[in-house]
Amino acid sequence: MSNKLIDKYPHIPFRKNWKLKQSSLLLLGQCEAYIDAIKRTPILPNYYQKLRQLSLRKGVQATTAIEGNTLTEEEIQAIIDGKKLQPSKQYQAKEIENMVNAFNKLFRQVVYDKEINIITEKLLCDFHKMIGDGLGEFFPAIPGQFRNRNVTVGTYRCPDYTDVKMLVENFCQWMHEEFHFGDKNRSFLDVIIQAIVSHLYVEIIHPFGDGNGRTGRLIEFYILLRGGLPDVASHILSNHYNDTRVEYYHYLKSATQKRDLTDFIEYAIVGLRDGLSQTLKRIQKGQSEITWKKMIYDKFDEINGKYKKNTTDRLKKLILELDMNSEIIPSNIPKIVIKSAKFYNDASLKTIKADIKRLIDLQLIKEIENKLYPNTDILSVMFSQQIAE
């Protein structure tokens, strides 16, 4: 960058103006371990699609809610499903539709088409065009074009519009050089820090008349996805910023004023680590449910002939339909076990308790302090035995 621009914008130095604390390095190590665990966990295709839908829905809501969009997750899911909202919400719905299309397009490019691009001026403009497409007069920017006026965000006076093109060119060149894109030895740390820093610099340069936040977060998502993070993990930072909006704006402002990105980076990595932990737990919960049901089927195959067929069918339906993580209350069984209602609608409490006793004998239900629960502990025992062997 020219000395003239450096003097004019000392808060945009295009150099490594951050220092990774020891705590940040530990957090990054945890993030990498979570990503590895997520990638290595086998997931059934239909369950993974549910996770993708959840991740997409939450990611779209997060990145638009920060900018004031008030549509709920249910309304966003309706848009994803191709449904139309009432006319009074059409502008917000179009914002959502644009983000959904952008995320899906990038997912297809990176995951299916293996189309990997470096961060360039054209890419930034293409991202912005996807975000602003069809928003009309309520979007105070020309989609895909740099701003042609000076703007102030709160108390922050953004760079002069006549300098935007040069700043973006310098930003893109620096991104490529600093973070070793295309290098086989490019590290996990490089991917995460580049994603966060790219988002920050787009916010600070503010190249567009509107939509800079969404563009910055879309670039962040793209770099994470391009860097090998699964798509179910690539929306986590946007979710974190939205869930902690006060802190988000505080650290963003502080980074600009102090000319130091250290605190923002750590704030972002903490959110990434926590989000990855939740994502892994969600995946593991789904796997536990699948394993639990498989074990039930195996158990009833083993005891074939132990009970009459009607009794066996009734017991199997009952244990399959009970919530594997909740207390079992015998008197509630006719109300909660919908598919087995024909077996229990007219059943006496004595019959229900007899079936529960059979399931206890089969080690599928356990009793703790006079309370009954599905015996999911058996899954942990089986896993421990496998390790021991």
pLDDT in tens, 305-355: 888 888 888 889 889 888 888 888 887 777 665 555 566 767 778 888 899
Between residues 378 and 246, which one has the greater pLDDT? 246
- Amino acid identity of residue 102, one-letter, is A
Task: Give percent of the chain with pLDDT exceeding 70.
Answer: 94
Domain with CATH 1.10.10.10 in the chain: 303-388
For residue 370, name the pLDDT band (cuts at 50, 70, 90).
Answer: confident
Question: Does pLDDT of 206 surpass 70?
Answer: yes
Question: Does pLDDT of 219 surpass 60?
Answer: yes
Question: Does pLDDT of 84 surpass 90?
Answer: yes
Please state, in angstroms and rounded to a whole number, the distance separating the CA atoms of residues 41 and 282. Answer: 11
Between residues 45 and 217, which one has the greater pLDDT? 217
pLDDT of residue 386: 40
Question: Does pLDDT of 166 surpass 90?
Answer: yes
Residue in the block written with tokens 């308790």: 353
Question: Does pLDDT of 134 surpass 50?
Answer: yes
Question: Does pLDDT of 144 surpass 50?
Answer: yes
Please state, in angstroms and rounded to a whole number, the distance separating the CA atoms of residues 215 and 223. Answer: 12
pLDDT of residue 1: 62
Give mean pLDDT, residues 221-239.
Answer: 94
Cα-based torsion angle of the residue sequence 85, 90, 94, 97 in order, rounded to the nearest 10 degrees: 0
Between residues 6 and 162, which one has the greater pLDDT? 162
**What tokens appear for 163 in the block?**
């300098």
pLDDT of residue 384: 39
Question: Does pLDDT of 3 surpass 80?
Answer: no
**What tokens appear for 132 in the block?**
């602003």
Domain with CATH 1.10.3290.10 in the chain: 3-284
Q: Could you tell me if 338 and 311 are in contact, meaning their C-beta atoms sit under 8 angstroms apart?
A: no
Give mean pLDDT, residues 48-57.
Answer: 92
Question: Does pLDDT of 385 surpass 50?
Answer: no
Name the packing angle between helices 309-321 and 262-302 (round to 10°): 170
Give mean pLDDT, residues 253-261.
Answer: 93
**What tokens appear for 28 in the block?**
């990054």
pLDDT digits (tens, 9 = 90+) for 275-289: 999 999 999 888 888
For residue 225, name the pLDDT band (cuts at 50, 70, 90).
Answer: very high
Give mean pLDDT, residues 46-50.
Answer: 88
Please tell me the pTM assigned to this model.
0.84
Question: Does pLDDT of 382 surpass 50?
Answer: no
Give mean pLDDT, residues 158-185.
Answer: 90
For residue 378, name the pLDDT band (cuts at 50, 70, 90).
Answer: confident
* Residue-averaged pLDDT of the chain: 90
Helices (H), the chain: 3-8, 22-40, 45-65, 73-80, 90-107, 121-132, 164-178, 188-205, 212-226, 236-243, 245-258, 262-302, 309-321, 333-336, 341-344, 349-361, 377-388
Cα-based torsion angle of the residue sequence 298, 304, 310, 311 in order, rounded to the nearest 10 degrees: -80
Residue in the block written with tokens 């990145």: 63
Q: Tell me which architecture the domain covering 3-284 has in CATH.
A: Orthogonal Bundle (1.10)
Give mean pLDDT, residues 168-185.
Answer: 87
* Segment among 130-134, 256-260, 265-269 with least mean pLDDT: 256-260
The topology (CATH level 3) of 303-388 is Arc Repressor Mutant, subunit A (1.10.10)
pLDDT of residue 336: 63
DSSP characters over 237-294: HHHHHHHTHHHHHHHHHHHHHHT--HHHHHHHHHHHHHHHHHHHHHHHHHHHHHHHHH
Please state, in angstroms and rounded to a whole number, the distance separating the CA atoms of residues 138 and 20. Answer: 40
Q: Could you tell me if 241 and 248 are in contact, meaning their C-beta atoms sit under 8 angstroms apart?
A: yes
